[in-house]
Structure 1
């Protein structure tokens, strides 16, 4: 690539720079995409990618100091990972492409409109204020999008993405740009999507998938996490990140959360034995004054045993009022419901939460697992987290296990449970019921 085009360094490995965000460099992306394809060299069909660049990063470093810039990069990496984890059903990977640039690749079958909607909602998430010790930052992301061509090399894909991102930065006609000048599909406007969502529950378009969870000691199925997907009649399947982003704009989070819990609990009642059900708790849930009463009513009405239910809460749901969150979660705990602190290790971790919250599980973010099979420092961090959890009488759940090597390390270091594509992707209620009956 010549001239002043943005260059993605082809030989960048996981180095000091990538230690900052805890995510790998581009070499790891080549390996991962190679594992998805039949020949190990070209990009397989269904691979989508985006390159996200942050503008004004130098100005932030000058105005607030390098520490603020570093903190912003860590927060951006955590937000991308969390958004992708909630929205994508197929395997995916995030990498640092240098400076303020991040590459996300996904082996995901979806339409161009759906990938553009994902990118647009991700840009909104990144643009939200970021608190740093010296003030509040607002970032302006630009995103280049691509659907890989059949038989295309990884370097060709990266080259086209780099050119598209440079064009997006130069033309300033919007925050999204498709590679090779492809015109962005019109899709549906935000107002149309918001209107669509208001009737989606009544039209039974919100589907509940289940991500199986297994014991690390013997690979025994121990339960599943409930995940929401919106089967939009025009755009196809829309993941939780986009779904909840739209619901937040139309003040529809509470009805959506109730619907998800109701459907998940109903499905769980048919499960054999002592299989557990995990349901995610949103910030809006914890802020809703009647959330505890309504959730406990749903549990009682469903007949699902409270002792087999886990509520997963992220740090993002705790930031606004951790004292109120602790009180709310304590009410659930008193009923025998267990609490998991989700995405532990993503971005900044406030260890005060471990002291004040009535939690039973630490659920490790996939970034805490990704490098454990090849990096001694990653193993050391995992070992320290597990030791801390044991001292606090907490069990550790490893998320994002994609190969046997990661599973072996997680088991050796003392994690109790795991989930990930190694054993099973998210699946329908019927498919999980069949898996549970084996």
Structure 2
């Protein structure tokens, strides 16, 4: 009987075990599907968070981007209209970023942007918002009801960004210019306030890089005028309207004319003669400065063929041109074509070239000097050059910035700066040139200090090639007058 019972239970147990096994398999399968669905959902959520973050965060610097900044600016202006603190926008543009990137590569450019963002993040407080708007342009939104705060913050920003930035090949001094706009009209929109800061920024870059410029009425009109000039510049270069003018270089001991500095002038058909301060920076920013330099150099060499062979030409060269590998060969080719001896040419470079383009400048300048061309360091004392640069780089002469001469005329104590530069040049066996000589007493003092060469209105203003040829015919009388 027990056997019959067991036989009866056996099918049931088999069914039960089979059912349990199937339930386990199905359960495991469903659990596996559930885990897959959960992981897929988690991935979807992460992707959504990443997409949300990428929509507001700049991936390179970690700062918020333009879209997020504009939303923050909208909120700040809404709060201001409802009784909150005034709103200030500081628009920050790096001054020499393109030069660093062109010379040292995109990786060095990224290093500059990352370090700039790190420094700006130090200003990230409860009432500030820092963003990268794109390229080398950054912005700081400040909400504060205390007068003068935006300007003080702007000056601190300039100091912070002026410090050298480490890059793979050394250090770069980039610096920045800042445009400031403050909410005054309650109806102002975020776009209008940012535009005002942009107008102030470009006014600052046009007149004084490395400065803080606040928006003022009338700047919009000036910017429109500049935009018209920018559009006209390409036509002017093609039409040959950018021409060389010449200012005498005088040996101070003996009043001997030794040559001319070549200065660009724009002979505009409507506006007349336009000075270089109004278009040289535009040419640099648009990438046309190299073309302009080579054209001016060629015309100056042709002009000088009709002048005494003991006179030399001194020509300014932009720091951005040192990013061009063939610069030296192109200069030598122009001289050869014009039949102009290299020993009669001097190139003037600025101190920023020594800081930003040390490696490329050394190679190019050595090539040119080996061919007989001399090199002058322009505006000495206004930049960041060091004694190492004076000893390492092939420089023949220091030019004392006209600002020191002008300052010395107002304050006699400032003669100490000029005397120190002359003595420093002597230590390195370099000649010196003083700019901005406009009075006989200034000339006499510079002579006593041992300055070698001078230029300024006392000797002659920059004039055209035709006027220079006439001036040379009268040189003996003029030399007697200067002495």
- Per the normalisation by structure 2, the TM-score is 0.55
Deviation digits for residues 23-60 of structure 1, max 9, x if unmatched?
Answer: xxxxxxxxxxxxxxxxxxxxxxxxxxxxxxx9943124
Residues 1:58 and 2:152 are matched in the alignment:
yes
1:418 and 1:307, CA in 2 relative to 1: closer, same or farther beyond 3 A? same
Cα distance in 1, alignment partners of residues 344 and 429 from structure 2: 18
Cα distance in 1, alignment partners of residues 400 and 282 from structure 2: 27
- Cα displacement (A) at 1:273: 3.6
The answer for the alignment partner of 2:342 in structure 1 is 306
The answer for the alignment partner of 2:267 in structure 1 is 231
SS of alignment partner, residue 401 of structure 1: coil
SS of alignment partner, residue 385 of structure 1: helix
The answer for the alignment partner of 2:310 in structure 1 is 274
SS of alignment partner, residue 355 of structure 2: coil
- Cα displacement (A) at 1:126: 5.6
**Aligned counterpart for 1:123 among listed residues 204, 209, 223:** 204
- Cα displacement (A) at 1:241: 2.4
Cα distance in 2, alignment partners of residues 185 and 57 from structure 1: 23
Residues 1:372 and 2:466 are matched in the alignment:
no
- The alignment yields a C-alpha RMSD, in angstroms, of 3.0
SS of alignment partner, residue 427 of structure 1: coil
Cα distance in 1, alignment partners of residues 355 and 365 from structure 2: 14
The answer for the alignment partner of 1:334 in structure 2 is 370
- Cα displacement (A) at 1:422: 1.1
- List gaps (5 residues or longer) in structure 2: 1-147, 164-172, 178-199, 475-483
- Per the normalisation by structure 1, the TM-score is 0.61
Deviation digits for residues 65-109 of structure 1, max 9, x if unmatched?
Answer: 9x76999xxx9xxx9xxxxxxxxxxxxxxxxxxxxxxxxxxxxxx
- List gaps (5 residues or longer) in structure 1: 1-53, 80-118, 131-138, 144-167, 177-183
Cα distance in 1, alignment partners of residues 261 and 426 from structure 2: 23
- Cα displacement (A) at 1:362: 0.4
Q: Is residue 404–residue 414 contact of structure 2 (8 Å, CA) maintained in 1? A: yes
SS of alignment partner, residue 408 of structure 2: coil
Residues 1:400 and 2:436 are matched in the alignment:
yes
- Cα displacement (A) at 1:255: 1.3
Paired residues for 1:18-417 under 5 Å: 56-60=150-154, 63=156, 123-125=204-206, 130=210, 139-142=211-214, 168=216, 175=219, 184=221, 188=225, 190=227, 192-373=228-409, 375-417=411-453
Deviation digits for residues 183-206 of structure 1, max 9, x if unmatched?
Answer: x5796461x433321121232211
Q: Is residue 55–residue 140 contact of structure 1 (8 Å, CA) maintained in 2? A: no
Task: Return the index of the structure with the highest Cα Rg.
Answer: 2
Cα distance in 1, alignment partners of residues 208 and 434 from structure 2: 29
Cα distance in 2, alignment partners of residues 219 and 298 from structure 1: 31
Question: Highest relative contact order (Cα 8 Å, sep 6+), 1 or 2?
Answer: 1
Cα distance in 1, alignment partners of residues 369 and 223 from structure 2: 47
Q: Is residue 374–residue 395 contact of structure 2 (8 Å, CA) maintained in 1? A: yes
